[in-house]
Chain A
Amino acid sequence: MKICLVVDDSRVVRKVARRILEGLDFEIAEAGDGMEALVFCRAAMPDAILLDWAMPVMDGLEFVRRLRAEPGGEAPVVVFCTSENEPERIAEALDGGADEYIMKPFDGDIIEAKFAQAGLL
C-alpha cells in the first residue's frame, strides 16, 4: 500500500484529504506543519505528499526545499495545494521542488486526476 503524508494546519482539510485518499487505497499519515512533516519523512519517506502552503512554524515552500535536500528526499511525489492562484506563486512552488499543483478547495476528482498524472495510481 502506498503511503501519502497529508500536511495541512487545518484538521478539517486533513480529514477531507484522508477520506479522498483512503478511497484511492493510500495509507495516510498526517502532519500539522512543515516541521512535523520533515520529522516524519526522516523516519519513513512516504510515496506522496499533499502539501499546504501557508502553515505556522514551517510553511510548505520551505518544507519542500528542505525535503529535497534530505537523503531520499527526491523520491516522494509532492502535490502542492493552496488557494493562491497567481502564476508567480505556482512557479515558485514548482521551482522549490513540487511536482504538481492543485487549487483549494480540491475534491476527489481533482486529486484522482492529479495523482494519476503523477503516476501514483
Chain B
Amino acid sequence: MDDLVSDFVCEAADSLGGLQAGLARLAVDRSDRAAMAEMLRRLHGLKGVCGFVGFARAEALAHAGETLLAAISQAAAPVSAAAVAPLAAMVGRMADLFDRAAEAQGEPAGDDGDLVALIEETAVGLSGRSSRPIEAFPPAALPSSLSAAAIVSDRRVCAPWSGLDTLARALGDRLGKRIELMVGGDDVRIVQAATPPLRTALIAMVRNACDHGIETPSERRAAGKPARALLRLSVHQAQDGATIELSDDGRGVDPALIREGCVASGRLDREGAASLSDAEAQSLIFASGVTTAEAVTALSGRGLGLELVRREVESLGGTVALNSVPGQGARFVIRLPAAVLATPAARSRVAA
C-alpha cells in the first residue's frame, strides 16, 4: 500500500469528526433532521471511499450505520437514546480501526460481527418489523473517550487545511449562519514543521470569516445574496512556493470603518487616517492593536485574530494580504516560500 492509505485515514478522520459532531447534536435533540442528513451524507461518502482502499470492515460498519441512520430519520417519532447508541459505538470502532491503520498501512484484521448485528437489529426494531422493543436490546458499549477525537486533533499526518470544512459548518451552526467551506486547487503537501503554524493561521482566518465576514441569513437575503455563505480555500503550488487563498462572499472589509476605528483607538489622528488609501487602510487589519471602536461592531475582534495570522505566516517566511470589495466579500492570500513544500512542483495542470 502507499500514501493512498494515509490520505484515506486523514479523510476518514474528517468524516468521523463530522459524525461525532452529528452525534453531539442528536444527544441534544434526537429529532434534529439536519444533523441526521449531514451524518448520512458523511457516512455514505465514507462507505464509498472504503471500497477503493480495501477497508472492508469499515465499509460493512458504515453500511450498517447508514441503514440505522436511515431508520432513525424515517421514524415517526424521536427515537430513544438506545437507538442512537450503536452509532456512537460504530464511530468508536471505526476510530480505533483508522488509528491502527496508519501504522499497519492498511486495514487491521478483526471481527465486527457483533456490532454490525446490533446496529442492524436496532434498525430493524425501528422499522417496526421486529416485535422486540428497542429498549430490550443491550446498550451498546460506548467508548469512554472516542479515539476519533484523537485522530481529528492529531493533525501531524494531515494537511493543514483538513477539518476546516467541519469547523466552518460547526461555527455556522453556533452563530445561526449557514456556512459551507470548500477546499480546492492542487494536491499540495506541506512539510511537517510548517503544518502547525499554518494550521493555526488557517483556523484563525476561518473563524474570522465566520464570526465577522459572513452575514446572518436575513442580512444576506436583504443584500440579494444566497442565505448559505460559501468559503473557498484554494491551494496552489508553483516553482517558487505555494499560494493559499481563502475567499468569502460576506460583507467584506470597509476601509472607512478601519479608519474610524484607528482614530477612535487613538492609533491615528484624523489627518493620518484620511491620508491612507483604501488598500492601506484594509491592510491595517493585520496590524497589532487595531481593535476597532465598540461602535464599529462589524469589525470588533478582527484585529487580534488577523494579527495572529500574520505572525504565523511570517514565521514561515511568507506573507498575507487582503483584497476586499466592501459588500461583496474578502479574499485573503497567503504566499509561502518553496521551503514549506514537501513535494516539488510536478503536477499536470490544465491551462484555462
Residues of A near any B CB (own CB < 8 A): 3, 9-13, 15-16, 22, 27-33, 35-36, 40, 43-44, 46, 54, 56-57, 82-83, 104-105
Contacts and interface: CB of A to CB of B under 8 A. Distances in A.
Given A13-B52, A15-B4, 5 more contacts: A12-B11, A28-B348, A57-B182, A57-B230, A104-B51
Interface of B: 4, 7-8, 11, 41, 44-45, 47-49, 51-53, 165, 180, 182-184, 187, 230, 348-352
A12 B45 contact: no
B52 A104 contact: yes
Name the residue among B4, B11, B182 with the largest chain A CB count within 10 angstroms. Answer: B182
A54 B183 contact: no
Q: Which 5 A-B pairs have the closest CB atoms?
A: A105-B51, A43-B352, A29-B350, A105-B52, A83-B48
B57 to A, nearest CB: 15
A15 B348 contact: no
A44 B352 contact: yes
Name the residue among B41, B49, B351, B352 with the largest chain A CB count within 10 angstroms. Answer: B49
Name the residue among B44, B48, B348 with the largest chain A CB count within 10 angstroms. Answer: B48
B98 to A, nearest CB: 13
A105 B45 CA distance: 12
16 contacts: A10-B49, A13-B49, A15-B4, A15-B187, A16-B52, A29-B349, A29-B350, A31-B184, A32-B182, A33-B182, A44-B352, A54-B41, A54-B44, A56-B41, A56-B182, A105-B51
Nearest to A19: B4
Contacts of B47: 83
B49 A12 contact: yes
Name the residue among B183, B230, B348 with the largest chain A CB count within 10 angstroms. Answer: B348
A56 B14 CA distance: 14
Contacts of B7: 11-12, 15
Given A43-B352, A44-B351, A57-B230, A16 B182 contact: no
A36 B182 contact: yes
A10 B349 CA distance: 19
Q: Is the interface of A mostly helix, strand, loop or mixed?
A: mixed
A10 B45 contact: yes
A109 to B, nearest CB: 14
Contact of B53 (A9, A12, A40): A12
A104 B51 CA distance: 7
A18 to B, nearest CB: 9
A105 B56 CA distance: 12
Contacts of B183: 32
A11 B48 CA distance: 12
Contacts of A54: 41, 44-45, 48
A10 B11 contact: yes
Given A12-B7, A57-B230, A32 B184 contact: yes
A106 to B, nearest CB: 8
Nearest to A33: B182
Given A31-B184, A36-B184, A54-B41, A13 B352 contact: no
B88 to A, nearest CB: 23
Contacts of A16: 4, 52
Contacts of A57: 180, 182, 230
Contacts of A40: 352
B56 to A, nearest CB: 11
A3 to B, nearest CB: 6
A30 B348 CA distance: 10
A104 B45 CA distance: 11
Nearest to A29: B350
A46 B49 CA distance: 25
